Structure 1
Amino acid sequence: MTENPGIHALPITVEYGGRSITITPAIVETDRGLVLLDVGPEGAVDSLATHLTSLGYELTDIWLVVLTHHDGDHAGGLAGLLERVDAVVATHRDEAPYVSGEREPIKGDGDRYPPVDVDLELADGVRIPTLGGPMDVIATPGHAPGHVSLYFPESNLLIAGDALVADGDEPLDGPKPHFTPDMDRATESVGALAALEIDHTLCYHGGYVDRGTERIREIYEQRRE
Structure 2
Amino acid sequence: MSVRVSHGVTSGTFSLDGETFDVENNVWVVGDDRECLVIDAPHDVDSILEIVGDREVRAIVCTHAHDDHVRMAPALRERVGAPILLHPEDRPLWDLAHSDQQWDLDLADGQTLTVAGTALQVLHTPGHAPGAVCLYAPDLGCVFTGDTLFNGGPGATGRSYSDLSTLEASIRAKLFALPDETLVHTGHGDDTTIGTERMNATSTGPP
TM-score range, shorter chain: 0.7 to 0.9
Count, aligned residues: 199
- Give the alignment partner of residue 164 of structure 2, picking from 183, 186, 205: 183
Is the counterpart of residue 135 in structure 1 residue 133 in structure 2? no
Q: Any residues of structure 2 matched to 1:51-70 within 5 Å, and which?
A: 51-53=51-53, 57=54, 61-70=56-65
Asked if structure 1 preserves the Cα contact closer than 8 Å seen for 2:29 and 2:36, the reply is: yes
Q: Alpha-carbon deviation of 1:13?
A: 2.5
Query: In structure 2, how many angstroms separate the alpha carbons of the residues matched to 1:216 and 1:116?
Result: 39
Specify the code of the residue in structure 1 equivalent to 2:12.
Answer: V
Q: Any residues of structure 2 matched to 1:104-143 within 5 Å, and which?
A: 105=96, 112-113=97-98, 115-131=100-116, 133-143=118-128
Identity across matched positions, percent: 25
In the alignment, structure 1 segments of 5+ residues that lack a partner are: 106-111, 167-171
- Give the alignment partner of residue 27 of structure 1, picking from 23, 26, 29: 29
Q: Secondary structure at the match of 1:94?
A: helix
Per the alignment, residue 46 of structure 2 pairs with 46
- Give the alignment partner of residue 194 of structure 1, picking from 176, 186, 192: 176
The two structures, once aligned, show a CA RMSD in angstroms of 2.7
Q: What TM-score does the superposition give when structure 2 sets the normalisation length?
A: 0.82
Asked if structure 2 preserves the Cα contact closer than 8 Å seen for 1:137 and 1:149, the reply is: yes
C-alpha distance 143-212 of structure 1, shift in aligned 2 (>3 A): same
C-alpha distance 184-21 of structure 1, shift in aligned 2 (>3 A): same
Q: What TM-score does the superposition give when structure 1 sets the normalisation length?
A: 0.76
Q: Secondary structure at the match of 2:85?
A: strand
In the alignment, structure 2 segments of 5+ residues that lack a partner are: none
Q: Secondary structure at the match of 2:139?
A: coil
Q: Secondary structure at the match of 2:115?
A: coil
- Show CA shifts across 1:185-213 (max 9, x none): 0000110210111421110111423x223
Per the alignment, residue 7 of structure 2 pairs with 9
Is the counterpart of residue 151 in structure 1 residue 136 in structure 2? yes
Q: Alpha-carbon deviation of 1:220?
A: 6.5
- Give the alignment partner of residue 153 of structure 2, picking from 144, 164, 173: 173
Q: Which moved more, 1:155-164 or 1:127-136?
A: 127-136
C-alpha distance 115-67 of structure 1, shift in aligned 2 (>3 A): farther
Per the alignment, residue 85 of structure 2 pairs with 90
Q: Alpha-carbon deviation of 1:79?
A: 2.0
Is the counterpart of residue 77 in structure 1 residue 57 in structure 2? no
Query: In structure 2, how many angstroms separate the alpha carbons of the residues matched to 1:113 and 1:223?
Result: 38
- Show CA shifts across 1:6-31 (max 9, x none): 22222222344555422112111169
Query: In structure 2, how many angstroms separate the alpha carbons of the residues matched to 1:137 and 1:31?
Result: 23
Query: In structure 2, how many angstroms separate the alpha carbons of the residues matched to 1:218 and 1:39?
Result: 30
Query: In structure 1, how many angstroms separate the alpha carbons of the residues matched to 2:203 and 2:27?
Result: 28
Query: In structure 2, how many angstroms separate the alpha carbons of the residues matched to 1:128 and 1:198?
Result: 23
Query: In structure 1, how many angstroms separate the alpha carbons of the residues matched to 2:101 and 2:58?
Result: 16
